[in-house]
Amino acid sequence: MSARACVIGAGFGGLALAIRLQSAGVATTLIEARDKPGGRAYVWERDGFTFDAGPTVITDPACLAELWQLSGHVMADDVELMPVSPFYRLNWPDGTQFDYSGDERALAQQILKLCPDDLEGYERFLAYSAEVYREGYVKLGAVPFLSFTAMIKAAPALVKNQAWRSVYSMVSSYIKNEKLREALSFHTLLVGGNPFTTSAIYALIHKLEQDGGVWWAKGGTGQLVAGMVRHFERLGGTMRLHDPVIHVETIGNRATAVETRSGWRGQFDAVASNGDLVHTYRDLLSASPSAQAEARKLLDKRWSPSLFVVHFGVEGTWPGIPHHMILFGPRYKGLLADIYDHGVLPADFSIYLHHPTVTDPSMAPSGKSTFYALVPVAHLGKLPIDWEQVGPILEKRILDEVGRRLIPDIHDRIVTKFHYAPRDFALDLSAHLGSAFSLEPLLTQSAWFRAHNRDDKIRNFYLVGAGTHPGAGIPGVVGSAKATARLMLEDLQR
């Protein structure tokens, strides 16, 4: 194929799409605004510590391995994946602990310890999760929903699996114990969804993890990104870093060229954007009336919340703190309502604590440990506060809580620390309202109701990444790349 394609943005979705196109013989140029690829999976090196900015829980490794298999290569030559167990340790303020793992017997033991009455209900929930995993992920996870007909075809499965109910409501129909309900429903937060409003279809994440495991890329998620870039360039792809696209030129209903801030300009047969949806339509396609109309529609959608992440490196090693921990706060539903609906900064919080050095000591200097503590916060549209002022206060409160629950002398042990706030998402990633996960994964914003993988009007302009079907998370955006690549390759062969 002598076609030329441009992919704007080197997040996981953009990288996966670029690899798929280049593997199929399309001369692909991947253009990234920032100095490093990865998008939400950016990486910082500070004082000998490696800090991954975003994704840390790698699930469905098969969807990544496929990107190498397409051209007869082997992922393991570029990236070493290490299993993580338990998947997560969940901890509540009263001291209750629950190790959530992929080992069926160990998980059953944990459930028996927490609430013996719920074991039978858990087994029924697992069967439900397996069913929605098959219907929602295996069958439809990489299908482009371009027409309403595609949505109608999916409707019987949605009805059968009661997709209108929330994950929490569905979990509660099987499970009586409140803590176990939280343990089996919090996963939607990892893709930007409130368990109380996100469609029950997202209960599929449980089965996805049970079957595919939870993994860690040796050297950090940044090494997975680096491996993808190496693979793309080995295939002959071209990468431009640190040069934001400022304009996508169109003639009639076709995208023809791309212009970057440095003044570079390239002509292409097809253009795809992995950038934020509003930024793509409003800014990059500013001369297209249909794109401006699309941008206005997007402004009315519900955007997922932002995040506040404290990165810190400490003296000492912590073999007793597992790789992934959730430190639940005293409230669950109320806390989520504050973040998703009320737009206030609550006095309490639930923390996701990431501790990579327990799996991979190479993430810190010898005898030291790397951590990040993440709390969801309302996006800038709901909570327009001055993060420069609030950031240091929230950072201290979060570190105090980690200290109270896990590392008593944390402040004395800290070697280096910094935080990442909603305005950083907005500034670094052009993320609308500083949202961490793009459009909220509501049923009314899923599949055909989400941004389409190919624009409805500009016939050779495509989208890939968290704003498209099936949504955020590495498996989601890698699935969206599969759907978008299929469309692009079909169109380019016409």
Ligand X SMILES: Cc1cc2nc3c(=O)[nH]c(=O)nc-3n(C[C@H](O)[C@H](O)[C@H](O)COP(=O)(O)OP(=O)(O)OC[C@H]3O[C@@H](n4cnc5c(N)ncnc54)[C@H](O)[C@@H]3O)c2cc1C
Contact positions vs ligand X (CB under 6 A): 8-14, 31-34, 39-41, 54-57, 190, 244-245, 274-275, 279, 284, 307, 309, 374, 429-430, 436-437, 465-466, 472-474, 477
Does the N-terminal peptide bond of residue 408 adopt cis geometry, omega within 30 degrees of 0? no
Could you tell me the two tokens for 33? 């605004």
Closer to ligand X at the Cβ: 34 or 411?
34
| Dihedral (CA of 137, 138, 143, 145) sign | negative
Alpha carbon distances (Å) from 90 to 120, 347, 419, 453: 21, 21, 23, 36
The sheet that has 461-463: what strands, in order across it? 238-240, 27-31, 4-8, 270-273, 461-463
DSSP 303: B
| Dihedral (CA of 13, 16, 19, 21) sign | negative
Q: Which residues pair with 354 in a beta bridge?
A: 324, 372
Could you tell me the two tokens for 423? 């305005």
Closer to ligand X at the Cβ: 17 or 364?
17
Alpha carbon distances (Å) from 164 to 176, 419, 443: 21, 37, 7
Contacts of 297 (CB under 8 A, 6+ apart): none
Q: How far is the CB of 250 from ligand X (least distance, A)?
A: 16
Closer to ligand X at the Cβ: 10 or 351?
10
Give, in degrees to the nearest 5, the angle at Cα 377 between 376 and 381: 140
> What does the alpha-carbon distance between residue 310 and residue 350 come to, in Å, rounded to a whole number?
13
E strand or H helix at 12 = helix 12-23
Q: How far is the CB of 36 from ligand X (least distance, A)?
A: 8
Q: Which residue in this structure is represented by tokens 């309202």?
A: 433
Q: How far is the CB of 37 from ligand X (least distance, A)?
A: 7
Alpha carbon distances (Å) from 129 to 23, 167, 210, 277, 336: 34, 10, 10, 30, 23
Closer to ligand X at the Cβ: 121 or 301?
301
> What does the alpha-carbon distance between residue 294 and residue 33 come to, in Å, rounded to a whole number?
23
Q: How far is the CB of 1 from ligand X (least distance, A)?
A: 24
Q: How far is the CB of 89 from ligand X (least distance, A)?
A: 15
> What does the alpha-carbon distance between residue 85 and residue 106 come to, in Å, rounded to a whole number?
11
Closer to ligand X at the Cβ: 213 or 465?
465
> What does the alpha-carbon distance between residue 393 and residue 152 come to, in Å, rounded to a whole number?
49
Closer to ligand X at the Cβ: 309 or 442?
309
Closer to ligand X at the Cβ: 274 or 460?
274
> What does the alpha-carbon distance between residue 331 and residue 350 come to, in Å, rounded to a whole number?
8
> What does the alpha-carbon distance between residue 34 and residue 46 come to, in Å, rounded to a whole number?
18
> What does the alpha-carbon distance between residue 441 and residue 478 come to, in Å, rounded to a whole number?
16
Question: 394 — phi, psi (to 5°)?
Answer: -65, -40
